[in-house]
Structure 1
Amino acid sequence: MNKTCFNGLFRLNRKGEFNVPYGKYKNPTICDEENITNVHEILKDVTIENKTYTYSEKFIDENSFVYLDPPYRPLSKTSNFTSYSENNFNDDNQKELAQYFSNITRKGAWAMLSNSDPHNTNPDDNFFDDLYSKYTIKRVKAKRSINSKGNSRGEINEILVTNY
């Protein structure tokens, strides 16, 4: 889907229906046979679960590295994309995720989380700084290619939270 949809975007509307227009790609590679074969080899003894992130906690130990990439907290009222389905991921969910981050930290796992940086639009919004105050927070530049206005695309800050 990311090879043919507008800017590689995947999104569902409130009814749970896919609603992204076609991208303007001249000759996208949709079926990469070599890559599919390689992925098949790597995943042939892997079980993939379709569960909530909390389900994974029982598999995590001190030998684990966990990267969390939740729906990002909106920076403005017009950037309110907070889910890939009809279920929103709000501030209460962000707080639950922070608790999960603490739980897996106590288990000895190495953990990293990315999210939007509220300081992009409000320097006084310390939501994540407060939520992850016990951990390392780095602000990094990230390119944005999805925006209805082409001249509004570009670099903004994101946060990376680590427990190491």
Structure 2
Amino acid sequence: MRLASKLLREVRVLSLDFFCLLNFIKKDDFVYLDPPYIPYSKTSNFTSYNKYGFDFSMHERLLRFCDKIDKKGAKFLLSNSNTTSSLELYKNYNIIFVDSKRLINANPIGRGNIREILVKNF
């Protein structure tokens, strides 16, 4: 516990528009991004985590944010869905495919294994 406490002393947890974080990011920082995923289908499009939603234009904005993180010399890791749109959007970065489980779904048939992506600039 003491080690965890020591390591977390320099960690900042913030809740604000992600572009505002650019003021805090510096060279050699590590940024993890877990946005609402690009929907796999028209029926799996829940993106209403706030009153503004998170549509594809926000994902394009997030890509520009990643570009700025990269230009600052910081590292980022972003998780998202394995869709054609995601792969095209982040094609200039390293993409890793990971298998995951979906345990939450109103329809039990929609639960189970799914492939997602991790996007990174390192």
- Work out whether the TM-score is over 0.5: yes
Instruction: Give distance in 1, aligned partners of 2:21 and 2:28.
Output: 14
1:90 partner amino acid:
D
Which 5+ residue runs of structure 2 have no aligned equivalent?
A: none
- TM-score if structure 2 supplies the norm length? 0.85
Structure 2 residue 100 is the aligned partner of structure 1 residue 135: no
**Counterpart Cα distance in 2 of 1:48 and 1:155:** 30
Separation in 1 of the partners of 2:11 and 2:120? 27
Aligned residues: 118
| Match in the other structure for 2:42 | 77
Which structure 2 residues correspond to residues 16-31 of structure 1 after superposition, within 5 A?
A: none
Out of 156, 159, 164, the position equivalent to 2:114 is 156
- Relative to its length, the structure with more strand (as a share) is 2
Q: Indicate if the aligned counterparts of 2:77 and 2:121 stay in contact, CA closer than 8 A.
A: yes
Q: Is the 8 A contact 2:93 2:120 kept in 1?
A: yes
**Higher mean displacement: 130-139 or 100-109:** 130-139
**Aligned equivalents of 1:108, 1:156: Cα separation in 2:** 32
Q: For each residue in 1:48-86, what CA deviation from the matched residue of structure 2 results, as whole angstroms up to 9, or x when unmatched?
A: 543111111111112200010001111112111113122
Deviation at 1:47, TM superposition (A): 6.3
Considering Cα pairs closer than 8 Å and 6+ residues apart, tell me whether 1 or 2 has the greater RCO. 2
Q: Which residue of the partner structure matches residue 57 of structure 1? A: 22
**Percent identical residues:** 41
Root-mean-square deviation (CA, aligned residues, Å) is 2.1
**Residues 47/159 of structure 1: CA separation in 2 closer, same or farther (3 Å cut):** closer
Q: Kindly tell me: are residues 145 and 60 of structure 1, through their superposed partners in 2, closer, same or farther at Cα, counting changes over 3 Å?
A: same
Any idea what SS the aligned residue of 2:119 has?
strand
Distance 2:81 2:120 in 1: 15
Q: Structure 1 regions of 5+ residues with no counterpart?
A: 1-37, 119-124
- Larger-gyration structure (1/2): 1
* Structure 2 equivalent of residue 8 of structure 1: none
Residues 96-111 of structure 1: pairs in structure 2 closer than 5 A: 96-111=61-76
Pairwise CA distance, 1:46: 7.0
Matched, 1:94 2:36: no
CA distance in 2, matches of 1:159, 1:116: 6
TM-score computed with the length of structure 1 as normaliser: 0.65
